[in-house]
Structure 1
Amino acid sequence: MGLPADSEDRYELNDELHLHPYEPLETPTRVLTLVMVRSDEERAEEILQLKALSEAFGCSIETSGLTSRLQCGAFLLKVESHQDFSRYKFIARPDAETIERPCSGDPLASPPLNLLPEGWLEALPGHLLVALDLVILPYPSDSDHASLMQRYACCFDADTICASQIGRSKSLVITDFRISHQRFSRMLLFSRAETPSQIGRLAYRLIDIETYRMLAMRILSPARMLRKRLPAADARLKELASAISDGGNLNDEQLMEGLTALAAEVEAMISAHYRPFTLASARFDLVLQRIDELYEQPIGPQSTLGRFLRRRLTKARSTGEGAFEWLEQLANRIAQASQLLRTRIDVHNEKQNRNMLAAMNRRFQLQLRLQQAAEMMTVAIFTYYGTNVLDYVYQEISLQMGGVADSTQFKAIAAPALAAAAIWFIYRLRKKRE
């Protein structure tokens, strides 16, 4: 018995869970992570670079969604394409013997970039934001956290060195969140994890922390720019609001033009910064989530990674969210001021309309009186001339018949009749107009 037909997006939705999985790792392993901030247009160039690398090493590109994998001889390259950046992970396998052990005792010395073709890294599209050198070593059976810290503290900046016991395996991670002279951030992980999957999950979380804390911190630049621009816009709004309440030298049309121009400027700033601030907020949350997933425990007096990052990221996040909140509040205040001004304009227009209607009513009443007077004048004129004409006819008829015409008596009878006829005719005309 077969299954019903699949929904057209069933496999796509299921594969979404596996777009950016962690890579099972063994010790010792070195993971170089590069994060390139790029535009959508540079995505095609990124694909060309991957094809060039695959041709140079004679390997194929395995693609799953937006994730690509290349097994290039001594190392594995995994590329994750995101909305506004790409993350390259160069994983040096244990058998590649790329983790050097110089006499200085610094396992983070000399990142193995010479494994790549000359000029390939420089040709990557976009701009470099993160370069992390993560070295994963097996936890020495004859050492503890304190002795490892004492031995490898010299590899990191003494002022910002952080160390934590992480994971249920109680592994040790050391870093200083500094960029070394080799242009890499450096992180050292001594793993007690028993399986490659556990090691891969720990490495994935550490790489995510470094990646997304840098991506989230990018909000500082636009936030500082907003904090420079917003006081001027705020001052303009205060001037316009004062002019609305006090009257001032500006009429309502000028005030509305000023508010409209200010609203357009603020809306342009919101449109330009809404997406970056929203992304930054989500990335801050992701960093904190990854920190929680490490199950950190402090080691002696050293600050843990989580404590160090929370203290600094909270300040950066507050700066960004405060600037954007100020921007949104400014937009709301402009909308309120515009509404107040429109209300005043509507009240003023309503008053003008009432006055206009009253004036029109007065003119109509005057016109009606004039029309009535003209109608009465018309009745009088019609009666006067009509009576005289009929009187003339009456006299002529009387002379022809040899009688004596009594003009006064005739006019007394004809005048009221003609006046009544004229009034009745005017009444009929009014009825037709109505």
Structure 2
Amino acid sequence: MAILALDDYPGRYALTNELHARPFPELSAPCRALHLAIKPEGDAAGRDRARDRAHLAALLDRYGAPHLPPGANHYSGPLGRGFLKWEMHTEFVTYTLFLDGVSRVPFSGEMSTIFPSDWLTETPGKIVTSTLVRVDSATPERVAVALDDDFPQWFVLESLAVAQVVDSEAVIAGDFRIDEHGHERFVVLASPAVGQRRLGRIVQRVLEIETYKAMALLTLPVARHVAVTVARLDRELAEVVASMAAETGHEPDTLQRLLKLSAEVEHLVATSAFRFGAAGAYEALVNQRIQVLREERIGGRQLFSEFMMRRFEPAMRTCRSAEQRLADLSGRAERAANLLRTRVDVANQAQNVEVLHAMNRRAAMQLRLQETVEGLSVVAISYYALSLAGHLFAPLAEAVHVSEALLLALLTLPVVALVWFMVRRIRRKLGHGAEEAG
């Protein structure tokens, strides 16, 4: 078949290979598994992933195993007498070790010695979950014995969940409790006819249920903190809104208080948004992994889905409730701030109108004062003009035998009229020029 003479879209092969990057292990009963999920504290999503790869490489060097390819997010290969599966996730990494056979003492945890103690102390993170899985081949009779005799010794019956899965080809059981050695315990009793790939998928899904359940529950402390903080901020917002309704006249101070409260709400939203989003994603994965197992009840025991409904779902509802209350508080704080800003703007506009009225009154007073000054200026100018005119016409008055007093009397009205006309003309000309400039 001819190859198309077209360039591949960037990342085409990488994206396609991602679908096949994490194959399920192929297991044969009896066997056992140790699963560790390790997550750094703080900003785990923004951690230096090169440290995780370097830590894995240090473990592989202990056993002379080949390294993973540069930039790879998964690894599968032999490790000593076991088989290691390593995966890098958004917030955590997982180490899953598989060994053939089961221990003489159930859940003794001796397989954890394959991980050197000094290597464990240098792990870039802390354990979120450590899980032991015992996989055994069992006939229906052996399953009945395990239900009656073994499970009461291995698990806490009050929280034990048991189910037949994938068309009754296996029975899974676990109590989701941490034992005295720090591990959670699960059992997979497989039908002798179950295939290796199917058994590997069952074990992998049990491990994923526990891992994603533990990761989802990391949000619960955050949700409780958010709930307490939201309750406090809600009371403060109610006080601010009551102050607004009372119209105390301190709107600028109230607005500053409201803006400070809104900033605290938004900071709380920003710091908890990722955790709430991650909880929703992990919860969906837990439910999906349980769903694909296709549980059936056995021995009247509670199913994994029932355990999650009674124990896990309330915690997730608490998280969703805290997230919703925070979102509602953010919306109400924003609406209150907008309302108060509108009120402050209206008050400012009213003050501006009053200022404009005051300016108009001052302008009118200045105009009247100016007119008064203009009247006085006419008198003053006329006085000096009359004096000059008297000196100018004095020789002529003497020639016609007119006294100085009579001369001034004759000149007063014409001089005053002339000065008034000139001042009025100048004022009109200045007013016309101002109108043109406007």
Asked if Structure 1 and Structure 2 have the same fold, meaning a TM-score greater than 0.5 normalized by the shorter chain, the answer is yes
1:163 positional shift: 0.9
1:157 positional shift: 1.6
1:287 positional shift: 0.5
Q: 1:306-351: per-residue Cα shift (whole Å, max 9, x none)?
A: 1111222220011111122222222222222222222221121111
Question: Aligned residue for 2:431?
Answer: 430
Alignment of 1:285-364 (within 5 A): 285-364=284-363
Q: 1:206 to 1:356 in 2, by over 3 A?
A: same
Q: Is the 8 A contact 2:37 2:211 kept in 1?
A: yes
Question: Aligned residue for 2:227?
Answer: 227
Q: 1:83-138: per-residue Cα shift (whole Å, max 9, x none)?
A: 2211110011x3xx4x1245xxx4x3444223343533343231111111112222
Residue 420 in structure 1 maps to residue 426 in structure 2: no
1:260 positional shift: 2.5
Task: Give the stretch that moved more between structures: 53-62 or 191-200.
Answer: 191-200
Residue 366 in structure 1 maps to residue 365 in structure 2: yes
1:169 positional shift: 5.0
Q: 1:118 to 1:222 in 2, by over 3 A?
A: closer
In 1, Cα distance between the equivalents of 2:162 and 2:428?
A: 107
1:296 positional shift: 0.7
1:67 positional shift: 0.8
Task: Give the stretch that moved more between structures: 263-272 or 311-320.
Answer: 263-272
In structure 1, the gaps of 5 or more residues are none
Residue 53 in structure 1 maps to residue 59 in structure 2: yes
In 1, Cα distance between the equivalents of 2:410 and 2:349?
A: 62
Residue 30 in structure 1 maps to residue 36 in structure 2: no
RMSD: 2.5
Task: Give the stretch that moved more between structures: 364-373 or 408-417.
Answer: 408-417
Q: Is the 8 A contact 2:171 2:188 kept in 1?
A: yes
Q: 1:418 to 1:188 in 2, by over 3 A?
A: closer
Q: Helix, strand or coil for the counterpart of 1:189?
A: strand
The TM-score with structure 1 as length reference comes to 0.89
Question: Aligned residue for 1:166?
Answer: 165
Q: 1:378 to 1:114 in 2, by over 3 A?
A: closer
In structure 2, the gaps of 5 or more residues are none
In 2, Cα distance between the equivalents of 1:393 and 1:433?
A: 38
Q: 1:261 to 1:422 in 2, by over 3 A?
A: closer
Q: Is the 8 A contact 2:109 2:132 kept in 1?
A: no
Alignment of 1:69-148 (within 5 A): 69-92=76-99, 94=100, 97=101, 99-102=102-105, 106=106, 108-140=107-139, 143=141, 145-148=143-146
Q: 1:118 to 1:286 in 2, by over 3 A?
A: closer
Q: Is the 8 A contact 1:382 1:422 kept in 2?
A: no
Q: Helix, strand or coil for the counterpart of 1:143?
A: helix
Task: Give the stretch that moved more between structures: 292-301 or 378-387.
Answer: 378-387
Q: Helix, strand or coil for the counterpart of 2:157?
A: coil
Percentage identity across paired residues of the two chains: 27
Task: Give the stretch that moved more between structures: 237-246 or 34-43.
Answer: 34-43
1:159 positional shift: 1.5
Q: Is the 8 A contact 2:162 2:303 kept in 1?
A: yes
Q: Is the 8 A contact 2:378 2:416 kept in 1?
A: no
In 2, Cα distance between the equivalents of 1:122 and 1:380?
A: 105
Q: Helix, strand or coil for the counterpart of 1:297?
A: coil
